[in-house]
Structure 1
Amino acid sequence: MDGQRLSREGLSRRSFLAGDISEGSQRGASLSSALVTPPFAAYVLGRLGFGPRRGTAFSVQQFNALGATDDARLTAFVDQQLSPTLDSGGHVTDPDVAARLAHENFVTLDKSFDQLWLDHEVNGSLSGQPYTRDWPIREVERAVFVRAFYSRWGLFEQLADFWHNHFNVYGYDRYAAPTFVSWDRDVIRKNALGNFRTMLQKTFEAPAMLYFLDNYINRAPSFNENYAREIIELHTLGSINYLGPDLQQNQVPLIPAGQPGAGWPVGYVDADVYELARSFTGWTFYRGGGSNPNTGLPYLVADQHDIGQKTVLGEFAAANTPYASEHQRFLDRLAYHPGTARHIALKLAKRFLGDDPPESVVAAAALEFWNNRNAPDQIKKTLRVVLLHDGGPGSFRDLGNFGNKTKKPFEAVVSALRAVNVDFTIRRNDSASDGFMDRFRRSGHRPFDWRAPDGFPDHTSYWMGGGAYVHAWRTVDWVLDQNLGTDQTPLAPVLTLTLGEFSTAPADHTPNNLANFWLARAFDWAPNGTTGWRGTELHYQVASFMCRNTDTVTYFGADVGIGNGPAGNTAGIGTDSGPNYWYSRLRGMVDCVLFSPQFMVR
């Protein structure tokens, strides 16, 4: 584009982010049709975490050092990520994250369930006292950003998000908010790579789940089916194994001999839901009232429990079966049914491979899940198969998958801020953090803020609407423009990184150079080892943005040093005064990189 000039109505940041070429462009194509296939390392890091970050275990350089071939590197990386460092309590730990979460504004993350209940449920809204009921959820939703920004265990953070959505509860719900630290730490994260049956049991005992799905009001002689239906339809067998409203239990075909679960019903019908709901009658949690303690612990109200005989998916419980035995047998049947194995395998494959994953991968992962149903690392083994099974086209190692998934708003914001090396510990009771969260919530993807029991959608089409990404972009744009403290230190060191790459000499800061540097910085790779991103449509557009000056009719050539051009400001790229506003334009150019179609896909 050397020597070309853009019209006064040339490329704006808004039109760029919409994926359109400006009227002044002589190329006239959509950026979305000009994606550049990344190297295997960058593709993997974008799928199994929140994108590359230079100088960390999630950098292209570190990934490429793991072996001599892509297959060897992928295997080593997956095994590394599936074996994160654990603390004495069996929780995943990372020193960088731990240091940030030790900030004085985090006061609930280390509290036990009992302490959370006492401090934030029993005493969290007392008259004349600070209102603390929602402190736990507010701290967890901020901690999830901190972990995504800085943890070396990116795959684990992706998996924790997967299970939070699989066993979704609304974080600000009545009994979820004050106990959410325990839900996140002890139910989800503690079991994310462990045994599915164990995690299912933990959800079954949590007041957040029992309240969210109305089991606390499930009482005989009638019953409330909400929890029973969702535990079958969402948490275990899934709707893919629902046989419709017309069949009775004795009409359901059985799994043939020689197959996993032989002799069990092949799927479920409405009667299985009703029978399970009867089994769950009376199962609630202590929340005070009368002579009852106020502890949040689960228990059975005996005179509200249906003691009649029941059958769920072929598992029979005679009348007067002790409730604990009855519950365990039915939960066992749900967790160990091969339909559950397939449901979980399919969801994992859709999360990490694409919306239409290969059947060979799903089948292999489902078998691994079922074969290891009693193993303490069942989920870890299953996910390893999902990621390493060579199922041909569409399997994880197929680079042709690139672009078949878009980043959800959370992933888009996190990956963007990682790329610019943001130094920002988002926390409770902090004005900048509150400003960040207020902007991000408008994207519709605030953590733990999905009110339906099915969790945030994980299919690409849902997130393709413009509103979600507009507010994600505005969140990043706000961070790039934000300065904090008495010294007004930028949250995102855009200028520092730029000057560190080149020098303070204005002649080095050409639109071509700046575009090339920031594209390579954001993606942690370049198409050409010598020329970088030059010659690509994306480089052309990013450099064009930097050439354009909205206040004059004179535009810079792509290789003219900023400060040396005919309408230049000799103070250079760090100045932000008229007519050029170079520092603002630099940040705007970085915005364009971070929300380009190339950056927004995985």
Structure 2
Amino acid sequence: MSPEHKITHVIDRLTYGPAPGDIERVRAMGVAAFIEEQLEPDALPESRELAARLESLGTVRLGAVDLFREYGPTPDTGGGLGPSQVLAARDRAGVVAREAVQARLLRAMAAPGQLRELLVDFWYNHFNVDAGHGLARIWAGAYEREAIRPHAMGRFLDLLAATAMHPAMLIYLENWRNVAPRDDGGGDGEAISPDSDGYEAKAPDREADAERTGGLDETYAGTLLAVHTLGDDAAFAARDRTALARVFTGWRLGAPRSETDKNGFFFDQAAHDPTDKVFLGKTIPGGGIAEGAAALRILAGHPATAKHVCRKLAAFFLAGEPSRGLVGRLAEIFLRSEGDIRAVLRALFADPEFFDESRYAAGVKTPLRTVVSAVRAIGTPPDDVTPLAGVLARMGTPLFHCPDPAGYPGPGAFPTSRDMAARVAFAVGLVSGELPLWREKPPGLAVEKLLSTLGTSPAPEADKPAKKGRAARTAPKTSPRRDPAAILAGPGFLRY
């Protein structure tokens, strides 16, 4: 790959797309220095404007417990939820959902640590929680902030444990219902409803009261094995899924009752199966919450997990399937470093396959990348990012609302005709002002500035031979090259 291609390639793959001045800055500092900078985001100076925008969003400072207290359903005096309480609860939850989306978009557009923002997207998709599922509607943003973001570049085991224990995941994959089977068919009875003294109420994932029955629920255990860790169905058997579900009995939602309980999670010994379990050929002695920690360690250190996670990471940053050799090399580093995500990424970005010419502009942007990269290229943060949530919904990928536990399709998925139509409409709305993002038209929408930011230049004459490389893919050869909407909807911009 040529030096100039390396510059645009590394910006495209380690950020949501170039902002004004990025190409010149990376050219001056060098590709290797830029990669190292992005691998250490905490050392980057904070954006004061971004911090101020986030500070104005009151709900993004609240944890899961406080969010429930402030924005969760409020029973009437009889202890139930009538129609008016249900509607009021949905209105309150809407405030939390909107601000969570705003915070996610603001960070993606303006955070200096762009690599971390991409990884937040990657890991949220990997450990997906659908905000349309019960109380996850008020907890999805907190889940990203508390379980995903702090561990996005840390140890995989820490990330695994944080997602497993978060109330949003407990609700989404029904592990809050997972209790040791009782002879009488009943459970231990109560779950979360935060109040000043403790939480005791029924069916936290529904606005209306409903009795729940006790018993083993393998939903989370199955997803943990097939999606979050091992990936390969041949790596585990049905008995392993059942054993894992038994391990996670008693992982509940409620007020803190010990030092291990936090942020809405608590371990209910009375709902736990205390017997020994054989999981993936290893015996886990009955020991309460420690069994879950032991099972997560087994999974995080399993060779199948290393291959599954490293293949997905490599595919995300290569915008296509990696070679088996690269996956093997990364998996060795994953296991040797005990799941150090940063070490795996450093090896990936140093591998010859990452800078192979065949990888250059080989990917098609997801809707989120399309939207964020367009705003970054313009260079002026929107006065209001809320309309972009609707854009993503029209493109079929509303933030926090993927119903599939496996998340949205990865880089190998090509846009549908409906998706492409929505992307063109987005570019037109952005340029025309139909999308009310800015009070005044941003100067970055000028064609020359936009092309300069993207690392291209317009061809002065339509009949000149096409330029090689990125310019050939991006610069139109006819009059549409003078239209910023044509640039932002063109095939050159949609590839990265």
Same fold by TM (over 0.5)?
yes
- Give the match for residue 455 of structure 2: 524
Q: 1:527 to 1:369 in 2, by over 3 A?
A: farther
Matching of residues 72-151 of structure 1 within 5 Å? 73=31, 75-85=32-42, 93-103=46-56, 106-121=57-72, 127=85, 131-151=91-111
Matching of residues 146-295 of structure 1 within 5 Å? 146-221=106-181, 222-238=215-231, 240=232, 242-243=233-234, 267-286=235-254
- Once residues 147 and 159 of structure 2 are traced to their aligned partners in structure 1, the CA distance between those partners, rounded to angstroms, is 6
- Give the match for residue 387 of structure 1: 349
Post-superposition shift, 1:445?
A: 1.6
TM-score, normalization by structure 2: 0.81
Deviates more, 1:462-471 or 1:225-234: 462-471
Q: 1:416 to 1:231 in 2, by over 3 A?
A: same
Matching of residues 411-560 of structure 1 within 5 Å? 411-427=369-385, 433=386, 435-460=387-412, 462-482=413-433, 489-493=439-443, 498=446, 517=448, 520-526=451-457, 535-536=465-466, 541=476, 543-545=478-480
* SS in structure 1 at match of 2:485: helix
- Once residues 123 and 424 of structure 1 are traced to their aligned partners in structure 2, the CA distance between those partners, rounded to angstroms, is 35
TM-superposition CA deviations, 1:9-33 (whole Å, max 9, x none): xxxxxxxxxxxxxxxxxxxxxxxxx
- Give the match for residue 336 of structure 2: 371
Tell me which of 353, 360, 377 is aligned to 1:402: 360
- Once residues 367 and 60 of structure 1 are traced to their aligned partners in structure 2, the CA distance between those partners, rounded to angstroms, is 33
- Once residues 137 and 203 of structure 1 are traced to their aligned partners in structure 2, the CA distance between those partners, rounded to angstroms, is 19
Letter in 2 for 1:408: T
- Once residues 85 and 325 of structure 1 are traced to their aligned partners in structure 2, the CA distance between those partners, rounded to angstroms, is 32
- Once residues 196 and 441 of structure 1 are traced to their aligned partners in structure 2, the CA distance between those partners, rounded to angstroms, is 30
- Once residues 237 and 60 of structure 2 are traced to their aligned partners in structure 1, the CA distance between those partners, rounded to angstroms, is 41
1:297 aligns to 2:249 (yes or no): no
- Once residues 183 and 282 of structure 1 are traced to their aligned partners in structure 2, the CA distance between those partners, rounded to angstroms, is 20
- Once residues 323 and 532 of structure 1 are traced to their aligned partners in structure 2, the CA distance between those partners, rounded to angstroms, is 72
Q: 1:426 to 1:163 in 2, by over 3 A?
A: farther
* SS in structure 2 at match of 1:364: helix
Letter in 2 for 1:236: T
Post-superposition shift, 1:93?
A: 4.7
Q: 1:388 to 1:539 in 2, by over 3 A?
A: closer
Tell me which of 271, 277, 286 is aligned to 1:310: 277
TM-superposition CA deviations, 1:39-84 (whole Å, max 9, x none): 22112111111221113xxx111111123xxxxx2x2111100101
- Do the aligned residues in 2 keep the contact of 1:479 with 1:491 (CA within 8 Å)? no
Q: 1:223 to 1:450 in 2, by over 3 A?
A: same
Size of the aligned set, in residue pairs, is: 443
- Once residues 295 and 321 of structure 2 are traced to their aligned partners in structure 1, the CA distance between those partners, rounded to angstroms, is 31
Letter in 1 for 2:129: V
Q: 1:538 to 1:519 in 2, by over 3 A?
A: farther
- Do the aligned residues in 2 keep the contact of 1:143 with 1:426 (CA within 8 Å)? no
- Give the match for residue 490 of structure 2: 596
Q: 1:426 to 1:360 in 2, by over 3 A?
A: farther
* SS in structure 1 at match of 2:278: strand
Post-superposition shift, 1:286?
A: 2.0
- Once residues 147 and 409 of structure 1 are traced to their aligned partners in structure 2, the CA distance between those partners, rounded to angstroms, is 16
The structure that is helix-richer by fraction is 2
- Once residues 263 and 239 of structure 2 are traced to their aligned partners in structure 1, the CA distance between those partners, rounded to angstroms, is 31
Q: Which runs of 5+ in 1 are unaligned?
A: 1-35, 68-72, 244-266, 289-294, 428-432, 499-513, 547-585
Post-superposition shift, 1:142?
A: 1.6
Identity %: 27
Post-superposition shift, 1:218?
A: 1.7
Letter in 2 for 1:322: G
Post-superposition shift, 1:522?
A: 5.0
- Once residues 151 and 326 of structure 2 are traced to their aligned partners in structure 1, the CA distance between those partners, rounded to angstroms, is 23
- Once residues 278 and 345 of structure 2 are traced to their aligned partners in structure 1, the CA distance between those partners, rounded to angstroms, is 32
Q: 1:211 to 1:44 in 2, by over 3 A?
A: same
CA-atom RMSD in angstroms: 3.2
Q: 1:438 to 1:287 in 2, by over 3 A?
A: farther
Post-superposition shift, 1:531?
A: 9.3
- Give the match for residue 577 of structure 1: none
Post-superposition shift, 1:344?
A: 1.0
- Do the aligned residues in 1 keep the contact of 2:243 with 2:279 (CA within 8 Å)? yes
Post-superposition shift, 1:171?
A: 2.2
- Do the aligned residues in 1 keep the contact of 2:310 with 2:331 (CA within 8 Å)? yes
- Once residues 473 and 143 of structure 1 are traced to their aligned partners in structure 2, the CA distance between those partners, rounded to angstroms, is 25
- Give the match for residue 54 of structure 1: 20
Post-superposition shift, 1:148?
A: 1.9
- Once residues 241 and 325 of structure 2 are traced to their aligned partners in structure 1, the CA distance between those partners, rounded to angstroms, is 31
Post-superposition shift, 1:129?
A: 6.8
* SS in structure 2 at match of 1:363: helix
- Once residues 111 and 101 of structure 1 are traced to their aligned partners in structure 2, the CA distance between those partners, rounded to angstroms, is 12
- Do the aligned residues in 1 keep the contact of 2:15 with 2:118 (CA within 8 Å)? yes
TM-superposition CA deviations, 1:234-266 (whole Å, max 9, x none): 11111x3x22xxxxxxxxxxxxxxxxxxxxxxx
Letter in 1 for 2:491: P
Deviates more, 1:107-116 or 1:203-212: 107-116
Matching of residues 31-42 of structure 1 within 5 Å? 39-42=5-8
- Do the aligned residues in 1 keep the contact of 2:306 with 2:331 (CA within 8 Å)? yes
- Once residues 520 and 304 of structure 1 are traced to their aligned partners in structure 2, the CA distance between those partners, rounded to angstroms, is 61
Q: Which runs of 5+ in 2 are unaligned?
A: 76-80, 182-214, 257-261, 467-471
Letter in 2 for 1:279: V
- Once residues 158 and 297 of structure 1 are traced to their aligned partners in structure 2, the CA distance between those partners, rounded to angstroms, is 27
- Once residues 150 and 254 of structure 2 are traced to their aligned partners in structure 1, the CA distance between those partners, rounded to angstroms, is 24
* SS in structure 1 at match of 2:129: coil
Post-superposition shift, 1:183?
A: 1.0
TM-superposition CA deviations, 1:155-208 (whole Å, max 9, x none): 111111000001000123222222233211111011101111111111111111
- Once residues 521 and 183 of structure 1 are traced to their aligned partners in structure 2, the CA distance between those partners, rounded to angstroms, is 38
Post-superposition shift, 1:532?
A: 12
TM-superposition CA deviations, 1:424-459 (whole Å, max 9, x none): 0435xxxxx2x4422331101221110110011103
* SS in structure 1 at match of 2:322: coil
Letter in 2 for 1:95: R
- Do the aligned residues in 1 keep the contact of 2:125 with 2:407 (CA within 8 Å)? yes
Post-superposition shift, 1:484?
A: 9.4
Post-superposition shift, 1:306?
A: 2.3
